[in-house]
Amino acid sequence: MIIIESVAEMQQFARQRRGEIALVPTMGYLHEGHASLMVEARKRAKTVVVSIFVNPTQFGVNEDLDSYPRDFERDRKVASAAGVDVIFAPKAADMYPAGYQSYLNVEGLTTELCGASRPGHFRGVTTVVAKLFNIVMPSVALFGKKDFQQLAVIRRMVQDFNFDVEIVGMPIVREADGLALSSRNARLDPEQRRQALCLSRSIAAAREAFRGGERAVAVLRQKALALIEAESAAELDYLEFRDQDTLLPLQIADERTLLALAVRVGPVRLIDNCVLGEE
């Protein structure tokens, strides 16, 4: 496995391997969720590149850019164990040098859900992912459904801007007790970690009611919400039932309905989701 820090060097490498590269974009502090993307990437291309970059343009002014967990040595081991060929870990000053002034923005989809609570977030995400596509030149790029809206926004960007890359969405990897893996989980103390289970439990409650035949979103939402409200450290950002393609609100749920939620637990904002009809 090789480590590349320079953008120019990464691009030089990518030119030689063009057509055989799978990219897994990450912000590091790698866990089993990231590893599942790397393992799938390994099956889909001869060369697997993992980018590790805590992208400043996707963090708002009062968000956790400075406290975002980082551990390059650990990341190196996780990536190596997953069979990664290249870690691309650029410096912010190389990605956004003095004079930088170009951004890519997907409209519509980015005004909903996380886009509503994190203005500018997706503009930063699409900008950095577009840059990574131009630098790493992947034929395929893998993203987790944990960030369901991000995946939808990136698919839209790829279609609208004719990026020549296949986008693969991968299932959410969870802890044994249901908590979706996230680098941010490392910042929860034991009591907050316990209370963070309310996200997956609230999803389970809504699914159970859905499986029992309930279709009214108002009723499903109330059942899911009760689990969040029961935890003292949990502060709801949103809990929404949406069309999984447009991300627009629904009154009546069906098998394809997305349940997405964001909840602040202590110092971190956690997200989770499910499609009601999927396992």
Residues of this chain that bind ligand AMP (CB under 6 A): 26-27, 33-34, 36-37, 143-144, 146-147, 170, 172-173, 180-183
Q: How far is the CB of 232 from ligand AMP (least distance, A)?
A: 25
Indicate the residue among 253 and 258 with the shorter CB distance to ligand AMP: 258
Q: Give the residue closest to ligand AMP by C-beta.
A: 144
- 121 in a labelled binding site: no
CA-CA distances (angstroms) from residue 229 to 22, 88, 120, 208, 271?
A: 41, 41, 28, 18, 16
The answer to whether 34 is a known catalytic residue is: yes
| CB 142, min distance to ligand AMP, A | 7
CB of 146 to ligand AMP, least distance (A): 4
Give me the phi and psi of 120, to 5 degrees please: 85, -15
Of 27, 56, 1, 17, nearest to 135 (Cα)? 17
- Ligand-binding annotation for 49, yes or no, is no
Helix axes 197-211, 217-229, angle to 10 degrees: 150
Nearer to ligand AMP, 181 or 239 (CB): 181
Closest CB to ligand AMP among residues 32, 254: 32
Q: What is the greatest pairwise CA distance in the chain?
A: 57
The answer on whether 184 is annotated among ligand-binding residues is: yes
As measured in angstroms, the least distance from the Cβ of 34 to ligand AMP is: 5
Does 19 belong to an annotated binding site? Answer: no
Q: How far is it, in rounded angstroms, from Cα 126 to Cα 61?
A: 18
Helix (H) or strand (E) segment spanning residue 204: helix 197-211
Among candidate residues 34, 121, 123, 221, the one labeled active-site is 34
Q: Is 107 annotated in some ligand binding site?
A: no
Residue 153 vs 239, nearer CB to ligand AMP: 153
Closest CA to 50 of 138, 109, 113: 138
In the three-class reduction of DSSP (H, G, I as helix; E, B as strand; rest coil), residue 152 is classed as helix
CB of 212 to ligand AMP, least distance (A): 27
**Strands 2-4 and 21-26, sheet pairing:** unpaired
Cα 38 to Cα 89: distance, rounded to the nearest angstrom: 16
42 carries a ligand binding annotation = no
CA atoms of 19 and 139, how far apart (whole Å): 6
Q: List residues bridging with 270 in a β-sheet.
A: 263
For residues 34 and 123, which CB has a smaller minimum distance to ligand AMP in the complex? 34
β-strand partners of 143: 169
Binding annotation for ATP:
27-34, 144-147, 173, 181-184
Binding annotation:
27-34, 58, 144-147, 150, 173, 181-184
Binding annotation for beta-alanine:
58
Binding annotation for (R)-pantoate:
58, 150
Residues catalogued as catalytic: 34
